[in-house]
Structure 1
Amino acid sequence: MASQIFSAVLVIVIGVGGCVAYFWGANKLLDLVFPAHGVSGGAAVDNLRRQGLIRPWLFIGPAMLILIVYLIYPVIDTLWLSFHDRGGQNFIGLANYEWAFGDREFRNSILNNVLWLAVVPAACTFLGLIIAVLTDRIWWGTIAKSLIFLPLAISFVGASVIWKFIYEYKGEGQTQIGILNAIVTGLGGDPHVWISIPFWNNFFLMVILIWIQTGFAMVILSSALRGIPEETIEAAVIDGANPFQIFWKIMVPQIWGTIAVVWTTITILVLKVFDIVLTMTNGQWNSQVLANLMFDWMFRGGGDFGRGATIAIIIMIAVIPIMVWNIRQANKETGGH
C-alpha cells in the first residue's frame, strides 16, 4: 500500500512539475526568439504580434497531439479494422456489419441498451431534480446532498460489488446475507437469485447506475434552480400558484436547457455502460449490452478483432449525434461562449 501511494504521489509530482516546466520553458524560449524588449519600436510590435499568434499553440499543442495519438488515430484504426477478418489481416468489406445486424445476441444487446436508455437517464434526471428542489428547502439539505452525491465518487466496479452484496443469494435453509433477500424472507417470501431473472435483471442492474448518477444530476440541476430569478417565483405566489404549479410551470421551463444537457450526458454514459454488467452478470441471463459484447468479441475466445471493432464503431456512431446535440445545448446555455 505504501509503495502504491508513493508511486501515485510521484506520478502527480512529475506530471504537474513537467507541465509547469514545459510552459515556463516554452514561454521563455518564445521570448528569446521573438524579444519584445531591447529592440526598436516597429520590431517590438512585430515580435509581440508573433508571440500572440504562437503562444496559444504552446498551450493547446500538447493537448492536440495527445488527442490525435490517443483518440483520432484509434478511431481511424478501429474503423479500418472493422472491415477485416478475425485476425485483422484480410479485408472482408461489410461482412462484419452484416453479421452484426443478423446476430441474435447483438440484437438482444441493442434491445437491452434501448431499455437502459429509456429508464436510466429519465430516472436519474427526475430523481435529481426532485431531490434538488426538496433539499433546497430543508436546513440539513447540504448534508443530504453530500450523502446522495457520495456514490459518484465510487468506481462502477466498486458500486457493483456493493450492490452484489445487496442482491446476494444463499441456498434454501441458509441465512440470507443479502439485504434484499433478507427483507423478502423477513416478510415471509422466498429468496431469489435476482440478477439471474431474465429481463427483470436489467432493472436490478440499472438501479446501480441510477444510484451513482442521481448525485450528478442533483448537483447540476440544483445549481440551475438557484439561478432562477426570485421575482418570477414571488409573482407566481402572489398570483395564487401552489407549490406544484410553481415547480412545473415556473421552475422547470426556466431550466429546461439544463435538464436536457443532464439527460443527454447520462444518455451518452448509458450507451457505453460496461463495468456494471461485467461485474454483476458478465452478460449472462439475457443482460448483455453492446460494450460488454464488444469486450467479449475483442478479447475473449481467441479474440475477433474485426467483429469487436465493428461493435465499437456502432457504439461510437450511436453516441456522436447525442454528443453533438449536447454540445450545442451547452453552448446555448452559456450564450455561445
Structure 2
Amino acid sequence: MPVILQGIVTILIGVGGCVAYFYLSNLVLDRFIFPAKGEQAGRNINRANAVRPWLFLFPAVFVLGLYLVYPVIGSFIRSLYGREAGDFVGFGNYISLFGSPDFQTAFWNNVLWAVFVPAASTFFGLLAAQLTDKLSWGNIAKSLIFMPMAISFVGASLIWKFLYANDADIGLINAVRDMLGFSDPIDPLQIPFWNNFFLMIILVWIQTGFAMVILSAALRGIPEETIEAAILDGANPFQLFFKIKVPQIMPTIVVVWTTITVLVLKVFDIVYTMTGGNFGTEILPSYMMDFMFRDDGRATAIAFVIMIVVLPVMVWNIVQARKEVR
C-alpha cells in the first residue's frame, strides 16, 4: 500500500474510531446502564453525567498507561536484572553505575549542560528579544535568530563540526589563531573540559531562537503604564529593563528556563555526532548507548536515572506553566 494511502487510511480509522467510541459509549451509558426512565430517571441522569467525563478521559488514560506507565514499570523491573533476562541482580546495576568513574563523568557533564545551556539560551534570547523590538528590521533579525530551530541537531552539529575543524582553511577557531600568528592548529573538541562548552554552544545557538520568541511575546505583554511611570520617575534604560520589565516577565523566564533544561537532560544527538562521547564529553544519554546492545539491564538503569533526574524539572515546569496561565 502506498505511503500516502496508508496515512489516509490511518487518519480515517483513527478519527472514525474515536467518533464511534464516543457515540457508542454514550449510547450504552444512557440507554442500558443508566436509562432515563421510570422513577429512577432523575437519579440515573445524574449518575450518567457523573460517569460521562470518564468516558472522554478513558482513551487518553489508556494510551498514557500503555505507552508511559507500563514502559516505566517494565523498565524499572528490567533494570533489576543483569545482561541475561533471568539474571536477577537487584540494585546491583545502580550500585555498579554510581561507582563507575565514566558514569560519574557523564553525570557531572549533564549537570554542567543543565546549568550552562538554559542560562545562556535564556540570557541571549532575552537580550535578542529586547534589542530586536527596538529595530526597524527587527522581524528580519528575529527570523535569522530563530532559523537554527528549523535545523535538526545532527545537521547543526555537522555545521559546527566544520567551524571546529582542525584546519585553518575551514575551522573558524584555527583561522583566527592563524591570523594571530599561531601556526599549530588545534582540535577544540579534544581540549579537556572546555570541549564540553564547545558542544554546548551548538545547543545554545539552536535554543536562543526559541527563548527569544517566547520572551519577546512576554515583553510585549507588559503594560505600557508601568513603563511610562518608570520613565517619568527618571529610570534609565538599564533600570527600566532589569527592575521594571524583567520582574514582570519572571514567570515566563522560569518556564523558558525549565523547558530548555528538560531538553538538555535528554540531548543526545550533538554529543554522539561531534565526539561520540570521547575526550571526556560523555553525557548520560550517550553513555546509555554504550550499553544498549551489550548490557540491556545497565542501559535500562541509566534510562531510569535520566527519567528521575528529568521528572522534578518537568513537574516544576508544569507548576510554573499553570501559574502563568492563571
Instruction: Compute the TM-score of the two structures, normalised by the length of structure 2.
Output: 0.89
Cα gap change, 1:224 to 1:320, in 2 (>3 Å): same
In structure 2, the gaps of 5 or more residues are none
The alpha carbon displacement at 1:17 in A equals 2.8
* Residue 149 of structure 2, aligned match among 149, 152, 156: 152
Cα gap change, 1:45 to 1:23, in 2 (>3 Å): farther
* Residue 298 of structure 2, aligned match among 307, 317, 321: 307
The alpha carbon displacement at 1:251 in A equals 0.5
1:23–1:59 CA contact under 8 A, matched in 2:
no
What corresponds to 1:29 in structure 2? 24
What corresponds to 1:224 in structure 2? 218
- Tell me, in whole angstroms, the C-alpha distance in 2 between the residues paired with 1:330 and 1:110: 28
CA RMSD of aligned residues (A): 2.4
- Tell me, in whole angstroms, the C-alpha distance in 1 between the residues paired with 2:49 and 2:146: 42
- The AA in structure 2 aligned to 1:28 is Y
- Tell me, in whole angstroms, the C-alpha distance in 1 between the residues paired with 2:191 and 2:323: 44
2:26–2:52 CA contact under 8 A, matched in 1:
no
What corresponds to 1:18 in structure 2? 13
Matched residue of 2:84: which SS? coil
- Tell me, in whole angstroms, the C-alpha distance in 2 between the residues paired with 1:18 and 1:186: 63
Cα gap change, 1:17 to 1:165, in 2 (>3 Å): farther
Q: Structure 1 stretch 42-51 or stretch 53-62: which is displaced more?
A: 42-51
User: Where do residues 249-264 of structure 1 align in structure 2 (5 Å cutoff)?
Assistant: 249-264=243-258
- Aligned pairs, how many? 320
- Tell me, in whole angstroms, the C-alpha distance in 2 between the residues paired with 1:223 and 1:42: 57
The alpha carbon displacement at 1:214 in A equals 0.8
The alpha carbon displacement at 1:250 in A equals 0.3
User: Where do residues 48-197 of structure 1 align in structure 2 (5 Å cutoff)?
Assistant: 52-53=49-50, 56-170=53-167, 176-189=169-182, 190-197=184-191
What corresponds to 1:242 in structure 2? 236
2:148–2:209 CA contact under 8 A, matched in 1:
yes
1:148–1:214 CA contact under 8 A, matched in 2:
yes
The alpha carbon displacement at 1:57 in A equals 4.3
Matched residue of 1:88: which SS? coil
- The AA in structure 2 aligned to 1:89 is G
Alignment deviations for residues 199-232 of structure 1 (CA, whole Å, 9 cap, x no partner): 1110110011101111111111111111111100
2:125–2:212 CA contact under 8 A, matched in 1:
yes
The alpha carbon displacement at 1:10 in A equals 4.2
Instruction: Compute the TM-score of the two structures, normalised by the length of structure 1.
Output: 0.86
- The AA in structure 1 aligned to 2:67 is Y
Identity %: 55
What corresponds to 1:285 in structure 2? 279
2:218–2:252 CA contact under 8 A, matched in 1:
yes
- Tell me, in whole angstroms, the C-alpha distance in 2 between the residues paired with 1:296 and 1:66: 30
- Tell me, in whole angstroms, the C-alpha distance in 2 between the residues paired with 1:140 and 1:92: 62
In structure 1, the gaps of 5 or more residues are none
The alpha carbon displacement at 1:31 in A equals 5.6
- Tell me, in whole angstroms, the C-alpha distance in 1 between the residues paired with 2:11 and 2:52: 20
What corresponds to 1:296 in structure 2? 290
- Tell me, in whole angstroms, the C-alpha distance in 1 between the residues paired with 2:203 and 2:191: 19
What corresponds to 1:198 in structure 2? 192
